[in-house]
Amino acid sequence: MSEEKKTGPSFTEQEALLFHAQGRPGKLEVMPTKPMATQRDLSLAYSPGVAVPVRRIAEDPALAFEYTTRGNMVAVITNGTAILGLGNLGPLASKPVMEGKSVLFKRFADVDSIDLEVDTEDPDAFVNCVRFLGPSFGGINLEDIKAPECFIIESRLRELMDIPVFHDDQHGTAIISTAGLLNALHLTGRDIRTTRLVCNGAGAAGIACIELVKAMGMPAENVTLCDTKGVVYKGRTAGVNQWKSAHAVETPARSLAEALEGADVFFGLSAKGALTADMLRSMNQDPIIFAMANPDPEITPEEARAIRADAIVATGRSDYPNQVNNVLGFPYIFRGALDVRATTINEEMKIAAAEALARLAREDVPDEVADAYRGQRPRFGRNYIIPVPFDPRLISTIPEAVARAAMATGVARRPIVDWEAYRNQLSARRDPAAGTLQRIFAKVREKPRRVVFAEGEEEQVIRAAASFVAQGLGSAVLLGRDDQIRATAAAAGIDLSREGLSIQNARLSTRTRDYADHLYARLQRRGFLQRDCARMINTDRNHFGATMVALGDADAMVSGVTRNYSVVLDDVRHVLDPKPGQRMIGVSIALCRGRTVLIADTAVHDMPSAEELAAIAVQAARFARRLGYTPRVAMLAYSTFGHPEGERSARLREAVGLLDRMRVDFEYDGEMAADVALDPRKMALYPFCRLTGPANVLIMPAFHAASIATKMLQELGAATVIGPLLVGLDKPVQIVPLGARDTDIVNMAAFAAFDAG
């Protein structure tokens, strides 16, 4: 992150709509956590069994945290009067943002959350609606409610409710911007007591931000607040209210431009484009510019840099360095508050979060964290004043700081005793799915590759290729007829003009002759004539694309949308071999309920022998390492360590013996049943088992078992399954499932590019 770099927006409007519409409309669903399969389940979950916890909770309300979702459930509540910086567009239009906030709660901090859009602008009616919802939730996150109503609403609800009520746009934003500011002051050698700040935007976010900055030590007279009418000066009567007046200062400045002359810091919590070039020019040296309006900042970093190379610039967006956005706060602040069952989120907890966040940015970035930064290792400095939302350290540091502050200030109803256990619990809450893909994407962006999308005439393939390029993952070659691809793209509204996106028609290629020769050299002793090979290259895009990769005209290929997996695999194997000394296998990555397991072989070996099973284990463990996991390999069977006896299990046992002799450098054991491999309690029944924890690489006894198991996981277990990924091929090709959607194709293309090294 040494230089100013903008990579987005990496999507089109149509993609944003499709993202929300595809599959189940919207971004979240509710999943039961208890079985509901039998008459007994039903009688426990519902009448009559449910009466037992009902009576207990009636006697002791604290037990609601033990027997219901309350302790981990936060409501994101709005009336849609200040949706991002888009203004008052009403509660219904705000729903995508609120669903998004709920998903972020879950994704980043494993807090369950539901969005509630309340159809009233009347603060009394709003308060009355929300105040009675206390029993349902462990916390209330108010969102995108405009000032000044938000101040009234929040303070009334805080008085009325005994759970944390937190207006994210006020305090979340204040915490993050203060954290960023502390670091920016440090970098520019400033003292908060002598720094002069101008805040444009005197609404929810603006007022809360300057309140926290003042609480951290900036003198009130050093802070000038502006709104649409200019400076909030002492004596102004137009467009003010008690919250603005509380920050009015004696100053001759009347406009934002006048206020900014010689100022050190600009906080933008207003609207797109509010900071002009002339205003920026007039600021003090090393100006600190936090242009935080969403989705478009008060000034873009490119514009700001062009005018003031000495500026430290932050925005609310994820596609520039220094993202000052409340997403860095609310998931973790609520996590900490919920974990100690805090009655409120007080000033001390906010300051603790801000300081912890500021500290984190100053620390060295360890290896496993560098991936969250697109493979770069940022150093505390002008383009890295605050961690990014994907930084995995956030979950283990911010909630702890908040929980400790809650305990120190006496608002924790359930203090934490074992901090180490708590930290481990926090780390385990991270969603591994995003971690895995994020890591792959980061590595691919480091070294963008040229990927062939073989079925280039298919709409979802064109969309995937465009998205692959737009996300900075590399360049894409669509195979197919130019006019056909352009017509499909035009009808679907996909922009093909982006640099790095090209079309290649096999029939018109100057390379067909070379490709056919290459294929013939490989296949002439396998019953193919030169003309067979020429036809395959001319008419079959899998052969053409794979040969492009084989001869170095591209780095990787993705195919499979229109053909069966095995057909594509056969095509590819005409052209490519396994890496020398390696075995080609299929590995599926299953992400389910916070766990990631690799399953092999899910594509190639039908009924592997003991030797083949051992080789599959070696290959799968190697792949697990490449993905950043420490492999713990279980050789799966229907039996566990010899019971019950059977020929199918014997092969697995034999494979373990072979691995022993090979002296491999990873953990493995078996044969064992899947539940023993995955459940530590069951594994503990076999104290001699050599795995140090639940297995994360599962070697299946046969292809049919692997295929059935992964598909059942996907359909019944609601697991996300990526793959089968082809591993061990000399040049990278990935095959997507028949009919795959654009996102799956992009993921597989990224894996192919990743495999290109």
205 part of the interface to ligand NDP, by CB under 6 A:
yes
203 part of the interface to ligand NDP, by CB under 6 A:
yes
CA–CA gap between residue 728 and residue 623 (Å, rounded): 9
Residues 82 to 111: which contact ligand NDP by CB under 6 A? Answer: 82, 84-85
211 part of the interface to ligand NDP, by CB under 6 A:
no
Single residue of 1, 104, 213, 274 touching ligand NDP by CB under 6 A: 274
Tell me, what DSSP letter sits at residue 46?
S
Amino acid at site 571: D
Task: Give 109: exposed, middle or buried? Use CB within 10 Å, 0-12, 13-18, 19+.
Answer: buried
Single residue of 144, 149, 612, 755 touching Mg ion by CB under 5 A: 144
Residues 501 to 520: which contact ligand NDP by CB under 6 A? Answer: none
- The torsion angle over the Cα atoms of residues 750, 751, 752 and 757, rounded to 10 degrees, is 100
CB of 508 to ligand PYR, least distance (A): 49
Give me the 149-188 binding string for Mg ion, x by CB under 5 A, dash otherwise. --------------------x-------------------
Which range, of 114-122, 144-152, 365-373, 563-571, touches Mg ion by CB under 5 A? 144-152
Q: Let me know: does 661 contact 473? Beta carbons within 8 Å.
A: no
List Cα–Cα distances, 392 to 136, 365, 435, in angstroms.
30, 11, 8
**Residue 113 host element (H or E):** strand 112-117
293 part of the interface to ligand NDP, by CB under 6 A:
yes
Residues 557 to 596: which contact ligand NDP by CB under 6 A? Answer: none
Which range, of 80-88, 355-363, 459-467, 499-507, touches ligand NDP by CB under 6 A? 80-88
Q: Which does 456 bind (CB under 5 to 8 A by kind): ligand PYR, Mg ion, ligand NDP, none?
A: none
Task: Give 423: exposed, middle or buried? Use CB within 10 Å, 0-12, 13-18, 19+.
Answer: middle
CB of 291 to ligand NDP, least distance (A): 9
Among 360, 412, 423, smallest CA distance to 388 is for 360
Which range, of 5-13, 258-266, 268-276, 534-542, touches ligand NDP by CB under 6 A? 268-276
CB of 224 to ligand NDP, least distance (A): 12
721 backbone dihedrals φ, ψ, rounded to 5°: -115, 125
**Residue 743 host element (H or E):** helix 742-755
612 part of the interface to Mg ion, by CB under 5 A:
no
Give the total of residues touching ligand NDP (CB under 6 A): 30
CB of 327 to ligand PYR, least distance (A): 7
Give the sign of the dihedral formed by CA 658, CA 660, CA 666, CA 668: positive
Which range, of 223-231, 415-423, 476-484, 497-505, touches ligand NDP by CB under 6 A? 223-231
CB of 420 to Mg ion, least distance (A): 35
303 part of the interface to Mg ion, by CB under 5 A:
no
Look at residue 361 and give its three-state secondary structure.
Answer: helix
143 assigned ligand-binding residue: yes
Q: Let me know: does 426 contact 400? Beta carbons within 8 Å.
A: yes
The nearer residue to ligand NDP, 23 or 239, going by C-beta atoms, is: 239
CA–CA gap between residue 275 and residue 271 (Å, rounded): 9
Pinpoint the alpha helices (H) of 74-141. 90-109, 123-131
Place of tokens 């890591």: 439
Residues 153 to 172: which contact ligand NDP by CB under 6 A? Answer: 169
List Cα–Cα distances, 558 to 361, 379, 571, 605, in angstroms.
38, 36, 13, 21
CB of 316 to ligand PYR, least distance (A): 6
CA–CA gap between residue 58 and residue 44 (Å, rounded): 18
CB of 94 to ligand NDP, least distance (A): 12
Among 328, 243, 260, 245, smallest CA distance to 292 is for 328
529 assigned ligand-binding residue: no
Residues 374 to 433: which contact ligand NDP by CB under 6 A? Answer: none
Q: How many helices (H) and strands (E) does the chain have?
A: 31, 21
Tell me, what DSSP letter sits at residue 579?
P
Single residue of 79, 195, 200, 649 touching ligand NDP by CB under 6 A: 200
Residues of this chain that bind ligand PYR (CB under 6 A)? 84, 144, 168-169, 294, 316, 325-326
Q: Which two tokens stand for residue 589?
A: 């990555």
Does residue 101 carry a catalytic annotation? yes
669 part of the interface to Mg ion, by CB under 5 A:
no
CB of 88 to ligand NDP, least distance (A): 8
144 assigned ligand-binding residue: yes
Long-range contacts of 313-320, Cβ-Cβ distance < 8 Å, separation of 24 or more: 313/4, 313/289, 314/180, 314/184, 314/289, 314/290, 314/385, 314/386, 315/290, 315/291, 316/291, 316/292, 317/8, 318/8, 318/388, 318/389, 319/6, 319/7, 319/8, 319/9, 319/10, 320/4, 320/5, 320/6
Q: Which residue of this chain has its Cβ atom nearest to ligand NDP in the complex?
A: 203
Place of tokens 């967006």: 317
Single residue of 72, 188, 222, 325 touching ligand NDP by CB under 6 A: 325
449 backbone dihedrals φ, ψ, rounded to 5°: -115, 165
CA–CA gap between residue 533 and residue 658 (Å, rounded): 40
CA–CA gap between residue 42 and residue 428 (Å, rounded): 31
The three-point CA angle 92-94-100 to 5° equals 125
CB of 594 to ligand NDP, least distance (A): 27
The nearer residue to ligand PYR, 84 or 246, going by C-beta atoms, is: 84
CA–CA gap between residue 342 and residue 462 (Å, rounded): 50
Q: Which residue of this chain has its Cβ atom nearest to ligand PYR in the complex?
A: 294
CA–CA gap between residue 143 and residue 99 (Å, rounded): 11
Provide the terminal-to-terminal Cα distance of the chain, rounded to the nearest Å. 22
Strands of 177-335 (E only): list them: 197-200, 223-227, 230-231, 265-268, 288-291, 312-315
Place of tokens 């956030």: 394
146 part of the interface to ligand NDP, by CB under 6 A:
yes
CA–CA gap between residue 599 and residue 709 (Å, rounded): 9
CB of 278 to ligand PYR, least distance (A): 26
Single residue of 181, 182, 202, 452 touching ligand NDP by CB under 6 A: 202
83 assigned ligand-binding residue: yes
The nearer residue to ligand PYR, 201 or 474, going by C-beta atoms, is: 201
301 part of the interface to ligand NDP, by CB under 6 A:
no
Cβ-based neighbour number of residue 122 at 10 Å: 11
227 part of the interface to ligand NDP, by CB under 6 A:
yes
The three-point CA angle 114-372-451 to 5° equals 105
Residues 587 to 646: which contact ligand NDP by CB under 6 A? Answer: none
**Of 101, 106, 350, 731, catalytic:** 101
Which range, of 227-235, 492-500, 635-643, 742-750, touches ligand NDP by CB under 6 A? 227-235
Q: Which does 270 bind (CB under 5 to 8 A by kind): Mg ion, ligand PYR, ligand NDP, none?
A: ligand NDP
The nearer residue to ligand PYR, 203 or 724, going by C-beta atoms, is: 203
294 part of the interface to ligand NDP, by CB under 6 A:
yes
Single residue of 5, 56, 229, 362 touching ligand NDP by CB under 6 A: 229
Q: Let me know: does 308 contact 239? Beta carbons within 8 Å.
A: no
CB of 267 to Mg ion, least distance (A): 16
725 assigned ligand-binding residue: no
The nearer residue to ligand PYR, 325 or 588, going by C-beta atoms, is: 325
Place of tokens 């900055």: 213
Amino acid at site 327: V
Single residue of 79, 188, 222, 326 touching ligand NDP by CB under 6 A: 326
88 assigned ligand-binding residue: yes
Cβ-based neighbour number of residue 688 at 10 Å: 6
Q: Which residues are catalytic?
A: 101
User: Which residues are documented as binding site for NADP(+)?
Assistant: 83-90
Which positions touch Mg ion (CB under 5 A)? 144, 169
User: Which residues are documented as binding site?
Assistant: 83-90, 143-144, 169, 294
User: Which residues are documented as binding site for a divalent metal cation?
Assistant: 143-144, 169, 294
Which positions touch ligand NDP (CB under 6 A)? 82, 84-85, 146-147, 169, 173, 200-206, 226-229, 239, 269-271, 274, 292-294, 316, 324-326
